[in-house]
Amino acid sequence: MQENNSVTQFLLLGLNQDPMKKKMVFGIFFIFYLGTVVGNLLIMVTIKSSWRLGSPMYFSLFYLSLADSCLSTSTAPRLIVDSLSATKNISYNECMSQVFALHFFGTMEVFVLILMAIDRYVAICKPLCYPTIMRRQVCIILIVIAWLGAFIHSITEIILALRLPFCGPNMIDHYCCDLQPLLKLACMDTYLINLEWVSNSGSVCTGSFVTLMISYIVFLHSLRNHSAEGRRKALSICISHIIVVVLFFGPCIFIYSRPPTTFSTDKMVSVFYTIGTLFLNPFIYTLRNAEVKNAMRKLWHIKITSESKR
């Protein structure tokens, strides 16, 4: 498809052109990215190292942390490097790869959040059947389906992107490659492609968000029959999930579920769900989860003790 384009590389304009603000962008997002990767890596190592965290809920949390790290890596390093770089060129192939990665790991995050909601629904509404329904083989199958669904969605998005001919200009008014800013540069009528894009990405975001909100309403309604201690523990877990869902899906719906209209806030909204929310997720899940915090303390206590004996 690239042979039909006169544009072989794009220029990412980034978040800001002011030299001082570009240094601020570097510092802020370097900290955000480092915190995201380290925090999620710590969660993944803790879950894999602790037998106490062998339940399906933590199985899902492991893959959510993996999706967080990969989604952040698909955009943040380029933003960080470009903030101090004189040239912000990105090749056509690299741009298409970024479109695929952004949608693959973003959709993976959506499906893992749905898997976590399924796990909480069974645990709260059908506690006696929980070990049977959410056995490990079922969780593995659900994760495989999530990966497959994310792959199918991403292939659809990249096919739409590859159909776009580019003949100049090549300046993308964004900090990363995504279908929406690329549509503005295409030398063709993009109405139908934009409609397909909104139908695809918009339906995934909006449909998943509505499904998750309905499921959590059902959870909260079912808690009236539980003991005070049971309600407290279930509420703590559900509130963490609801916070993550709202923070992630709000910006996604704003970006992917509307007609081809550009707003000045688009870039900052995209930054929020591709970098900001992912930075907050480890804190939300660890600070509100006593089991994860205790497992982390024990893991690092063992590490420190073993190192001191050497």
Q: Tell me what pLDDT residue 148 has.
A: 95
Strand partners, 231: none
- CB of 275 within 8 A of CB of 76? yes
Residue 296: predicted pLDDT: 72
pLDDT of residue 33: 95
Please, are residues 46 and 292 in contact by the beta-carbon 8 Å criterion?
yes
SS (H, E, C) the chain: CHHHCCCCEEEECCCCCCHHHHHHHHHHHHHHHHHHHHHHHHHHHHHHHCHHHCCHHHHHHHHHHHHHHHHHHHHHHHHHHHCCCCCCEEEHHHHHHHHHHHHHHHHHHHHHHHHHHHHHHHHHHCHHHHHHHCCHHHHHHHHHHHHHHHHHHHHHHHHHHHCCCECCCCEECCCCCCHHHHHHHECCCCHHHHHHHHHHHHHHHHHHHHHHHHHHHHHHHHHHHCCHHHHHHHHHHHHHHHHHHHHHHHHHHHHHCCCCCCCCCHHHHHHHHHHHHHHHHHHHHHHCCHHHHHHHHHHHHHHHHHHHCC
CATH of 2-308, one of 1.10.540.10, 3.30.70.141, 3.40.50.300, 1.20.1070.10: 1.20.1070.10
Interatomic CA distance for residues 15 and 117, integer angstroms: 34
Q: What is the pLDDT of residue 310?
A: 56
The per-residue pLDDT for 4 is 55
Q: Quick one: pLDDT at residue 308?
A: 53
The pLDDT of residue 219 is: 79
CA distance 221 to 58: 24
Tokens of 87: 């040239």
pLDDT at 98: 94
Question: Which phi and psi (to 5°) does residue 53 adopt?
Answer: -105, 45
Structural domain boundaries in the chain: 2-308
- What is the pLDDT tens value at each position of the chain, 310 positions in all? 444 567 788 998 888 777 788 888 889 999 999 999 998 998 888 888 877 777 788 888 899 999 999 999 999 999 998 888 877 889 999 999 999 999 999 999 999 999 988 888 888 778 888 888 888 899 999 999 999 999 999 999 999 899 888 887 888 888 889 888 888 888 888 888 888 888 888 888 999 999 888 888 887 777 777 777 767 777 777 787 888 888 889 889 888 887 767 777 888 888 888 898 899 888 887 766 677 777 777 766 655 555 555 5
CB 176 within 8 A of CB 14: no
pTM of the model: 0.88
CB-based burial label for 289 (10 Å; 0-12, 13-18, 19+): buried
Per-residue confidence (pLDDT) for residue 72, from 0 to 100: 94
Burial class, 136, CB count within 10 angstroms (exposed 0-12 / middle 13-18 / buried 19+)? exposed
Type of residue at 109: E
pLDDT of residue 1: 47
* Closest by CA position to 39, among listed 250, 247, 298, 277: 277
For residues 66 and 44, is the Cβ–Cβ distance under 8 A? yes
Report how far residue 211's alpha carbon sits from residue 50's, in angstroms, rounded to the nearest whole number.
Answer: 32
